[in-house]
Amino acid sequence: MMSECTTSATQTLGCLASEYSPATALSFKWTDQSGNALTDFVQHPAVEMNGKALKISHITVKKDKLNETSITCETVHPSERVKKTFRKVIAQAPTLSLVPVITQKSTSVMCVIEDFNPKAITVQWLENNINMQQRTKLDYTQNEKGLYTARTLYTVSSESWNKHTEYTCEVTHMGQVKHVTKNFKATLELTLKSPIQRNIFLFGDVILQAVVSGNEHKAVEDASMSCEVENKALTLSKAVIQAQDNSQFQKIHNVTVNRDKWFAGKMVTCTISDKNIKQEISFNKGDSKKPSVVLYEQHSKNTKSSHVSLLCEVSSPQLGDVYIMWKVDNGKYEEGKTSAPIRLKDSTSVISLFEVSDKQYKESMILCAVVHANMDNTRSPLITTARKSQPSCHPCPVCSADYI
């Protein structure tokens, strides 16, 4: 066990070993974070009672040193070696979560208050924003980093539980108030998905997907959803309930958004009104600069598989959302394998990989089409072409697998 004692400039750490024998068989070692031995410690004689011994060692260190490193006390005994490490823990606010605890005899809500320091907190419970004035008992634990976790239970009545009540755990820590609220009878979730990329290139308006999911068929079916931009209602398609493999049900609405408003970064808000569930999504315009578009090529090294990998890299210092599609000659738009944003020190890039046969590469025009927010006309994609007879590609500097 380790403990501390503090003065203005120094801190004394104590290390206690107990319940061992024989009394003379144990010694202490102190080391810093790098494993260097600390020799200026005190080791007190063992005290023996009822055949078991207790022994204490302590060391005094400067506070500024302790702020930069950790100190480890090790007990050395023929039966085992035990280490305990002391780290200076800075103040940290808690994270909160609510968990239902249901038994045959009672129903409770547990507030889990994690990873905070210092230890002192107060907790209040509310039902539908009404303070319940209930005394709280806190059970604390401390992890190896010195941060605390506390748990407290709030017992609820069956009447309250069955009324779709909102439970709030409100925690005051270092004068700051945080809270978490949950309704455990709410079985629905709402997810907004980014635009269907192919439609960006084919149609005038932008089509998003709003997905309502839950574990009860009727709840999903009855969910009434609406979407809006700038307080104006959007058109939603009808949706059919679909059963998922994970015992969930979902319905998907296509949400039509005016193209100009979407690329202007206007916020789209969708709500399941009777459940007060809301989600928002918008187009990220980035740094308002026109990105660069570069094509790279990489020929297959496999003699049995003759194909060419084309990489279309779209980059800008602070790249926003972009949409990338491919075409072979005058064919249909095709999706490649597009990466998530790749953030480097001075730029952000998105890479799309598209594979064509060696014959297509030699005989056809391959187009990488890009739509981004800072175009004069988003209905006219930025086109970069690749053709063997008129090369405009650069040799691929890295393997495409590094990006996708």
220: domain CATH number is: 2.60.40.10
Q: Are residues 302 and 388 in the same domain?
A: yes
Rounded to whole angstroms, what are the CA distances from 202 to 95, 192, 283, 378, 381? 45, 21, 18, 12, 11
Q: Are residues 203 and 178 in the same domain?
A: no
A 10 A CB-CB count for 281 gives 19
pLDDT of residue 70: 82
CA Rg, the chain, in Å? 31
Q: Which of 115, 150, 182 is the last residue of a domain?
A: 182
Condensed to tens digits (0 to 9), the pLDDT of residues 50-68 reads: 889 999 999 988 877 776 6
Query: Across residues 288-304, what is the average pLDDT?
Result: 79
A 10 A CB-CB count for 366 gives 24
pLDDT of residue 404: 36
pLDDT of residue 288: 81
pLDDT of residue 88: 73
The overall average pLDDT reported for the chain is: 85
Determine, yes or no, domain membership for 176. Answer: yes
Condensed to tens digits (0 to 9), the pLDDT of residues 249-268 reads: 899 999 999 999 999 999 99
The Cα 228–Cα 15 span in angstroms is: 63
pLDDT band (50, 70, 90) for residue 243: confident
DSSP states along 205-249? SEEEEEEEEES-HHHHHH--EEEEETTEE-EE-----EE-TTS-E
Q: Are residues 25 and 70 in the same domain?
A: yes
Condensed to tens digits (0 to 9), the pLDDT of residues 130-168 reads: 998 878 899 999 887 788 999 999 998 888 887 768 899
Whether residue 98 is predicted with pLDDT greater than 80 in this model: the reply is: yes
Q: Are residues 218 and 307 in the same domain?
A: no
DSSP states along 247-282? S-EEEEEEEEE-HHHHHTTPPEEEEEGGGTEEEEE-
Determine, yes or no, domain membership for 286. Answer: no
Q: Which of 150, 167, 182 is the last residue of a domain?
A: 182
The Cα 147–Cα 10 span in angstroms is: 22
Tokens 């998905």 correspond to what residue? 193
Q: Are residues 138 and 230 in the same domain?
A: no
Whether residue 274 is predicted with pLDDT greater than 80 in this model: the reply is: no
Query: Across residues 379-397, what is the average pLDDT?
Result: 65
The Cα 85–Cα 73 span in angstroms is: 6
Q: Are residues 116 and 208 in the same domain?
A: no
pLDDT of residue 246: 62
pLDDT band (50, 70, 90) for residue 351: very high
DSSP states along 125-145? EEETTEE-------EEEE-TT
pLDDT of residue 160: 81
Determine, yes or no, domain membership for 393. Answer: yes
A 10 A CB-CB count for 59 gives 20
The number of folded domains in the chain is: 4
Least confident of 90-99, 212-221, 252-261, 322-331: 212-221
Q: Are residues 262 and 351 in the same domain?
A: no
Structural domain range at position 32: 2-87
Q: Model's pTM, two decimal places?
A: 0.50
Question: Which of 78-87, 98-107, 315-324 is most confident?
Answer: 315-324
CB 265 within 8 A of CB 288: no
CB 303 within 8 A of CB 402: no
pLDDT top residue among 204 and 270: 270
pLDDT of residue 403: 36
The Cα 332–Cα 367 span in angstroms is: 11
Query: Across residues 198-203, what is the average pLDDT?
Result: 85
> What whole-number percentage of the chain has pLDDT above 70?
89
Q: Are residues 396 and 296 in the same domain?
A: yes
Tell me the β-bridge partners of 14: 3, 58
Determine, yes or no, domain membership for 388. Answer: yes
User: 44 CB contacts (<8 Å, ≥6 apart)?
Assistant: 55, 56, 57
Q: Are residues 310 and 395 in the same domain?
A: yes
Whether residue 179 is predicted with pLDDT greater than 70 in this model: the reply is: yes
Query: Across residues 209-230, what is the average pLDDT?
Result: 85
Determine, yes or no, domain membership for 51. Answer: yes
Q: Are residues 338 and 261 in the same domain?
A: no
Determine, yes or no, domain membership for 44. Answer: yes
Query: Tokens standing for 346?
Result: 């001075």
**Residue type for position 292:** S
The Cα 244–Cα 249 span in angstroms is: 6
| Separate counts of helices (H) and strands (E) for the chain | 6, 35
The Cα 187–Cα 151 span in angstroms is: 25
pLDDT band (50, 70, 90) for residue 242: confident
Query: Tokens standing for 109?
Result: 């809500």
Q: Which of 87, 122, 154 is the last residue of a domain?
A: 87
CA dihedral 240, 248, 183, 148 (to 10 degrees): -140
The Cα 191–Cα 70 span in angstroms is: 44
pLDDT band (50, 70, 90) for residue 211: very high
Q: Are residues 138 and 160 in the same domain?
A: yes
Query: Across residues 385-402, what is the average pLDDT?
Result: 50
Q: Are residues 9 and 76 in the same domain?
A: yes
Determine, yes or no, domain membership for 287. Answer: no
Determine, yes or no, domain membership for 20. Answer: yes
Condensed to tens digits (0 to 9), the pLDDT of residues 6-21 reads: 556 788 889 999 988 8
> What whole-number percentage of the chain has pLDDT above 90?
45
Whether residue 273 is predicted with pLDDT greater than 80 in this model: the reply is: no
The Cα 80–Cα 89 span in angstroms is: 28
CB 278 within 8 A of CB 190: yes
pLDDT of residue 188: 84
**What's phi and psi for 200, nearest 5 deg?**
-60, -35
The Cα 37–Cα 297 span in angstroms is: 56
- DSSP summary character for residue 104: S
Query: Tokens standing for 11?
Result: 């801190």
pLDDT of residue 228: 95
